[in-house]
Amino acid sequence: MAHIILASSSRYRQQLLRKLGLDFDCHSPAIDESPLPDESADALVLRLAQQKARAVAALYPKGLVIGSDQVCVNQGRILGKPGTREQARAQLLAASGNAVTFYTGLAVLDAASGELHSLVEPFTVHFRRLNDTQIDRYLDREPALDCAGAFKCEGLGISLFERMEGRDPNSLVGLPLIGLVDLLARFGVEVP
């Protein structure tokens, strides 16, 4: 089986990849993640996923490198990780009662041949109407400062939603496993 390298330091992506039962190494890519002028959310995450895979592939001349990137779009505005409680609170207030779409870019690169396959996985979350007290209680129990959208759907964050739409809820955590299995199959890696 091919040597698999996850181009990420995200513990969330590592946990997801472990679900597939594959052996893999991790290496954090050092790239500039700034959006280009007028770049759409789906173009941004696709570009960054591919850049992450290429950056790490330069260090591993053999193997399959997985790159992934995610952004959250609320009312046409691209949101990243909040970083602070104030920003998390603002993101959740803005999401209240709205549909928020997450775009996750995924790329798998064969470092030896340069063959690259990639995709963008959209996933939409419909938020309940949230009041200040609910948001504060959520942030007290599960501060999600390192998560785009300021919530963890794999935890208490699920209580913030009315419904979800999309092919793979794992994409909300940052690694769409259904799409990844499809891309890995193109390189002869069969899961299970």
CA gyration radius, the chain:
17
Catalytic residues: 69
Which of 103, 104, 6 is CA-nearest to residue 56?
6
Q: What angle do CA 93, 96, 99 make, to 5 degrees?
A: 130
Q: Are 104 and 121 in contact (CB under 8 A)?
A: yes
Strand ranges, E, within 37-115: 64-74, 77-79, 99-110
Distance between CA 95 and CA 127 in Å, rounded?
A: 6
Q: Which residues have CB under 8 Å from 146's CB, separation 6+?
A: 81, 83
Which of 43, 51, 167 is CA-nearest to residue 107?
51
Q: Are 153 and 100 in contact (CB under 8 A)?
A: no
Q: At what angle do helices 11-18 and 177-186 cross, to 10 degrees?
A: 70
